[in-house]
């Protein structure tokens, strides 16, 4: 089900959590989110496991028993595996609750794909409600590393993801008489080229940054210069200071080109999702847990990605980390494609690492 439409998904999750026998279950958080609490026998801290639950508007091409039942919608980013891993962890940990020195909160979050669910859950107090969360972990299926491995990264792990809209207004006219116009198409083309200097000339080569103009709309006939062009794109960085400097540089470039070309412009910047920064201590916890499950040699350091992840809203409130669950069997399809699939063996590894991390965290404090 799509973002904020996960009604049947959340209903099914809540049913299973009740069957497992969790101590507390709350639904309707952030519209379609679900939270379950497992209270250990002894007092202690609380660690949360987060799983996102929304799907993507893609028609699934896989012919498997667990194929999507909704036309035009599929779990092409592995969120069904995230859900299953969290539920599997709840099943196992509930059987050893008498040995837990603290609590586990299972957070099933809607709308990760549109970066809306995590922020709303935090605003509605999912981390603060009793038992208050002290730390949080999550996994994400990763087609970039092989099955049987997990990937970790300390610090900036996933980029900020922001939207850019640029509206260029000029003076239209006949294509045969461009001298009588202030051409917004030419001005837009100059802006696109100049904006690449934000990456190549205004940012250190050691700082990852992506600025992509991905959509251009302007004109409706082959011989008429339009009065307006609308461009949309994305800006992604791994550092908040780089982001701020880039926005200022974009504004300066647009202003300069507009003045030189005799056009007007409007720059609309929409903040999407901040940089995901993994806590060093929580990454170390995951390393130890992963080593116990798959072996130290199969816990690998991964490079940061310029993709975004709204798990960042949780880790900006409490120490947390996300790890990568290897799913590549050598010829695996990448995420966000109709043929993306996850080998079932990966689920067992994900469940085991999550459970091991929880036990290490609660019983070592």
Q: Are 24 and 105 in contact (CB under 8 A)?
A: no
3-state secondary structure of 355: helix
Q: Are 2 and 55 in contact (CB under 8 A)?
A: yes
Q: Are 98 and 360 in contact (CB under 8 A)?
A: no
Residue-level pLDDT at 365: 55
CA distance 85 to 88: 5
Domain 161-273 of CATH type 3.30.70.360: yes
Residue-level pLDDT at 238: 98
* Confidence check: pLDDT of 46 > 60: yes
Which two three-digit tokens encode residue 288? 């130890």
* Confidence check: pLDDT of 260 > 60: yes
Work out the pLDDT band at 270, boundaries 50, 70, 90. very high
Q: What are phi and psi of 221, to 5 degrees?
A: -145, 155
* Confidence check: pLDDT of 84 > 80: yes
Q: Mutual orientation of helices 344-363 and 79-94 as an angle, nearest 10°? A: 50
> Which of 329, 305, 309, 328 is closest to 320 using CA atoms?
309
Locate the DSSP E strands across the chain.
Answer: 24-29, 33-39, 42-52, 101-109, 135-146, 150-152, 155-158, 161-169, 173-174, 209-217, 224-225, 228-237, 264-273, 276-278, 299-301, 320-328
Q: Are 54 and 1 in contact (CB under 8 A)?
A: yes
* Confidence check: pLDDT of 338 > 60: yes
Is-cis flag, bond preceding 131, omega within 30? yes
User: How much is the average pLDDT of 136-163?
Assistant: 98
Which two three-digit tokens encode residue 289? 């847990």
Work out the pLDDT band at 126, boundaries 50, 70, 90. very high
Which two three-digit tokens encode residue 264? 């007007």
User: How much is the average pLDDT of 124-135?
Assistant: 98
Residue-level pLDDT at 282: 99
Work out the pLDDT band at 331, boundaries 50, 70, 90. confident
Residue-level pLDDT at 148: 98
**Candidates 3.40.630.10, 3.40.50.360, 3.40.50.300, 3.40.1190.20; correct CATH number of 7-158+275-363?**
3.40.630.10
CA distance 42 to 211: 50
Q: What are phi and psi of 61, to 5 degrees?
A: -105, -5
Please write down the long-range contacts of 89-96, taking CB distance under 8 Å and 24 or more positions apart: 89/49, 89/351, 89/354, 89/355, 89/358, 90/17, 90/20, 90/22, 90/36, 90/38, 91/20, 92/351, 92/355, 93/38, 93/355, 93/358, 93/359, 94/20, 94/21, 94/22, 94/38, 96/359
Mean pLDDT of the chain: 97
**What pairs with residue 216 in β-bridges?**
231
Q: Are 127 and 133 in contact (CB under 8 A)?
A: yes
CA distance 339 to 344: 15
Q: What residue ranges do the domains of the chain occupy? A: 7-158+275-363, 161-273
Share of the chain above pLDDT 90, in %: 99
**What pairs with residue 102 in β-bridges?**
45
Work out the pLDDT band at 155, boundaries 50, 70, 90. very high
CA–chain centroid gap for 295, Å, is: 27
Q: Are 101 and 47 in contact (CB under 8 A)?
A: no
Q: Which of 73-77, 266-270, 361-365 has the lowest mean pLDDT?
A: 361-365
Q: Which tens digit of pLDDT belongs to each residue from 294-310? A: 999 999 999 999 999 99
Decide: pTM greater than 0.85: yes
User: How much is the average pLDDT of 178-193?
Assistant: 98
Q: What is the 3-state secondary structure (H, E, C) of 226-281?
A: CCEEEEEEEEEECCHHHHHHHHHHHHHHHHHHHHHHCCEEEEEEEEEECCEEECHH
């Amino acid at each position: 089900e799509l973002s904020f439409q996960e009604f049947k998904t959340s209903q099914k999750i809540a049913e299973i959590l009740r069957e497992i026998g969790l101590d507390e279950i709350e639904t309707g958080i952030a519209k379609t989110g679900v939270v379950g609490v497992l209270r250990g026998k002894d007092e202690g801290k609380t660690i949360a496991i987060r799983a996102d639950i929304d799907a993507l508007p893609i028609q699934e091409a896989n012919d498997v028993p667990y194929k999507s039942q909704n036309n035009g919608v599929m779990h092409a980013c592995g969120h069904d595996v995230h859900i299953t891993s969290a539920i599997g962890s709840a099943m196992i940990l509930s059987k050893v609750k008498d040995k837990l020195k603290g609590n586990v909160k299972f957070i099933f979050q809607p709308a990760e794909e549109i970066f809306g669910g995590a922020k709303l859950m935090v605003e509605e107090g999912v981390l603060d409600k009793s038992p208050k969360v002290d730390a949080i972990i999550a996994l994400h299926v990763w087609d970039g590393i092989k099955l049987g491995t997990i990937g970790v990264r300390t610090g900036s792990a996933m980029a900020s993801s922001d939207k850019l809209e640029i509206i260029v207004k000029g003076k239209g006219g006949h294509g045969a008489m461009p001298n009588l116009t202030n051409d917004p198409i030419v001005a837009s083309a100059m802006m696109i080229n100049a904006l690449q200097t934000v990456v190549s000339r205004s940012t250190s080569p050691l700082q990852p940054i992506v600025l992509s103009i991905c959509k251009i709309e302007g004109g409706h006939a082959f011989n008429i210069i339009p009065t307006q062009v609308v461009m949309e794109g994305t800006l992604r960085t791994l550092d908040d200071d780089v982001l701020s400097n880039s926005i200022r540089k974009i504004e300066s470039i647009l202003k300069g080109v507009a003045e030189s070309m005799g056009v007007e412009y409007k720059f609309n910047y929409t903040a999407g999702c901040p940089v995901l920064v993994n806590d060093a201590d929580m990454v170390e916890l995951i390393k130890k847990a992963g080593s116990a499950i798959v072996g130290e040699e199969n816990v690998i350091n991964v490079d940061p990605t310029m993709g975004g992840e709204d798990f960042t809203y949780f880790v900006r409130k409490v120490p947390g980390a996300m790890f990568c669950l290897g799913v590549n069997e050598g010829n695996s399809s990448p995420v966000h494609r109709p043929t993306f699939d996850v080998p079932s063996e990966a689920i067992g590894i994900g469940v085991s690492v999550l459970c091991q991390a929880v036990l290490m965290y609660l019983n070592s404090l």
